[in-house]
Amino acid sequence: MKDTFQYAHYKARADIIKAMAHPTRLFIVEELEKGERCVNELTRMIGSDMSTVSKHLSILKNAGIIGDRKEGTNIYYYLKTPCILGFIGCVEEVLEFNTKKQGEILRTCRSKR
C-alpha cells in the first residue's frame, strides 16, 4: 500500500468504521433510523449521563453518520447517511453465519462423544 492517496482513503474508511465501533453508538444509529431524537431523549434511553451521550453523538457527527439541527434550546439529531444501516445489516449476516457455524461445530463435537 505504497500509494499515499490509497492509504488515506483506507484510513478514512477505517475512521468511519471506528466511529461505529461502540454498542452505544450502534444503539444511537438504530434509534435515529426511527426518527429524530434530542440529546435528552437519547440520554434517558441509554441511561448514561448527558456528557457521555454527547461525546458519542459528537463522534458519530464528526464521522458524517449523523447530523443535527437546532430548534429553540433543543438540538435534534438525525441519521444523515441511512446507507450505514446496510453495513449493520451485513454485520448481522456475519453474526448469523458465525452462530450457525458454531452450532455445527458443537453438534459435531457432541456426536463424537
- What is the rounded CA–CA span in Å between residue 7 and residue 15? 12
Q: Quick one: 62 and 103 in the same domain?
A: no
108: pLDDT strictly greater than 90: no
Domain co-membership, 21 together with 64:
yes
Q: How many domains does the chain have?
A: 2
Query: Residue 97's domain spans which residues?
Result: 83-113
**What SS3 class is residue 77?**
strand
Q: State whether 43 and 71 are in the same domain.
A: yes
Please report the DSSP string for 52-105 in residue order: HHHHHHHHHHHTTSEEEEEETTEEEEEES-TTHHHHHHHHHHHHHHHHHHHHHH
Residues 47 and 88 in one domain: no
Please write the tens of the pLDDT for every residue from 75-89.
999 999 999 999 999
Residue with cell 448527558: 50
Residue 111 pLDDT greater than 90, yes or no:
no
Residues 66 and 17 in one domain: yes
Which pLDDT value is given to residue 102?
84
Give 36-60 pLDDT, tens digit per residue.
999 999 999 999 999 999 999 999 9
Q: Are residues 50 and 77 in the same domain?
A: yes
